């Protein structure tokens, strides 16, 4: 039985640790956050997602998982810590990855395998990781092995995607790649695609950059549609009937820890990346575009109040990382708007989250920024009497327009210009 030390017990590290623990490995989950460790020691998940608690219960019953605050000797070390974005430098902040590797050094032994799951720029394994781990006195590819195996999982469906999605495994040499593949085959039911560490590093960034560029194209189509007074949602739907066209949906911007950030990791040391950088600019500008629509609707109203529906970066989850809602709210406040927020999933955030009726009371306009399914089936007559004026801007094309119109709302969708 292999012993695995998983550094980082967050949204990716913890389920990865538990999957290994439920499939024949002895696993120690390491985290510097004492609350996370204490919660796991008590047999409880530090965050909620479908299937995770059952996975933890299974590992505990098998006695194959425990949580600790300090790294210890193991056969395999797996790094799954966050990789923040340095917004000033527009590049990856590798401090947590570097710190995790430094924690491994005193415990690194001959024939150990080190796997980096954290998202990292190309050449990180061959350069920074190698330099840090070789402080142990051991040599990479001779005494120990290193690979990159990026996660491919989406919040809200993490467990299923970790098991059934294909995985990319890239080692610094062939033995590193094969050792890692032999480990992941214990729970991954998708195909394993074997390559080099640098290629694997780039693939993860390419995947999210593709989505960012595609969304930017949709957002640019949205603004062009306004110029021509057509409905971009209808146009995209019909264009996607073409067998080789798949335009993604427009929206108020791009959020999450991956799509809004990974393109910068890819371009930080590249000479030719103008398309990617332009796409980032387009997506980052969408909160201003949405605010312009709101200002046009509320022109002439003194001391306007708006209600934001949804601050999570995507529908039906509570994740607010890099959400475009924050930029929209900051811009709106600068313009003199009073902003109130309702989100059925988010409980705590940097702005107060209110109940539905409190959030709409005295409001002049609802601005839908997140595609929570609740908004698609919402019956506005329940709270319409609380509103001061009946306006709504839907950036996700999710509301039932017939119902809202029947109650008397003026509706604007992005990419529909003056159309009602």
Beta bridge partners of 6: 29, 78
The string of DSSP letters for 170-185 reads EESSHHHHHHHHHHHT
- Active-site residue list: 204, 258
* Residues 301-325 as b or e (16 or more Cβ within 10 Å = b): eeebbbbbbbbbbbbebbbbebbbb
148 CB-near residues (< 8 Å, 6+ apart): 115, 116, 117, 120, 124, 125, 169, 170, 171, 197, 200, 201
Alpha-carbon distance 374 to 22, whole Å?
A: 35
Beta bridge partners of 369: none
* Residue 70 tokens, joined: 């300090």
Burial class (CB in 10 A: 0-12, 13-18, 19+), 352: exposed
- Pairing between strand 410-413 and 3-7? unpaired
356 CB-near residues (< 8 Å, 6+ apart): 342, 383
E strand intervals along 175-285? 192-196
379 CB-near residues (< 8 Å, 6+ apart): 403
* Residue 156 tokens, joined: 């809200």
Dihedrals phi, psi of 395, to nearest 5 degrees: -85, -5
Q: Which of 99, 106, 37 is nearest to 68 (CA)?
A: 37
Burial class (CB in 10 A: 0-12, 13-18, 19+), 96: middle
DSSP-based three-state secondary structure for 54? helix
How many Å is the Cα radius of gyration of the chain?
Answer: 24
Helix 197-228 and helix 286-297: axis angle, to 10°? 20
């Amino acid at each position: 039985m292999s012993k695995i030390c998983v550094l980082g017990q967050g949204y990716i590290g913890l389920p990865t640790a538990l999957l290994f623990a439920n499939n024949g490995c002895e696993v120690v989950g390491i985290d510097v956050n004492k609350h996370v460790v204490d919660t796991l020691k008590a047999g409880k998940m530090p965050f909620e997602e479908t299937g995770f608690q059952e996975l933890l219960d299974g590992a505990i019953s098998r006695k194959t998982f425990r949580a600790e605050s300090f790294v210890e000797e193991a056969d395999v070390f797996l790094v799954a810590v966050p990789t923040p974005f340095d917004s000033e430098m527009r590049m990856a902040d590798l401090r947590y990855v570097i710190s995790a590797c430094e924690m491994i050094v005193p415990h690194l032994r001959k024939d150990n395998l080190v796997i980096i799951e954290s998202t990292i720029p190309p050449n990180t394994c061959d350069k920074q990781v190698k330099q840090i781990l070789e402080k142990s006195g051991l040599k990479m590819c001779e005494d120990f092995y290193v690979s990159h195996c990026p996660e491919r999982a989406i919040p809200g469906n993490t467990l299923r995607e970790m098991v059934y999605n294909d995985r990319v495994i890239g080692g610094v040499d062939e033995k590193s790649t094969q050792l890692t593949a032999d480990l992941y085959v214990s729970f991954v039911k998708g195909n394993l695609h074997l390559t080099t560490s640098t290629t694997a590093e780039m693939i993860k960034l390419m995947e999210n950059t593709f989505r960012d560029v595609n969304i930017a194209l949709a957002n640019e189509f949205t603004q062009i549609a306004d110029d021509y007074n057509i409905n971009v949602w209808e146009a995209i739907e019909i264009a996607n009937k073409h067998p080789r066209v798949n335009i993604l949906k427009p929206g108020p911007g791009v959020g999450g820890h991956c799509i809004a950030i990974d393109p910068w990791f890819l371009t930080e040391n590249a000479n030719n990346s103008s398309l990617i950088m332009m796409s980032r600019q387009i997506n980052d500008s969408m909160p201003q575009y949405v605010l312009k629509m709101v200002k046009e609707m509320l022109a002439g109203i003194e001391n306007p109040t708006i209600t934001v529906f949804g601050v999570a970066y995507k529908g039906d989850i509570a994740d607010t990382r890099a959400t475009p809602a924050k930029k929209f709210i900051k811009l709106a406040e600068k313009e003199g708007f009073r902003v109130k927020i309702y989100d059925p999933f988010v409980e705590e955030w940097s702005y107060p989250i209110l109940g539905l009726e409190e959030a709409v009371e005295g409001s002049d306009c609802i601005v839908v920024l997140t595609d929570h399914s609740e908004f698609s089936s919402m019956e506005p007559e329940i709270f319409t009497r609380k509103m001061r004026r009946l306006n709504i801007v839907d950036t996700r094309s999710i509301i039932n327009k017939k119902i809202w119109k029947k109650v008397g709302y003026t509706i604007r969708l992005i990419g529909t210009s003056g159309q009602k």
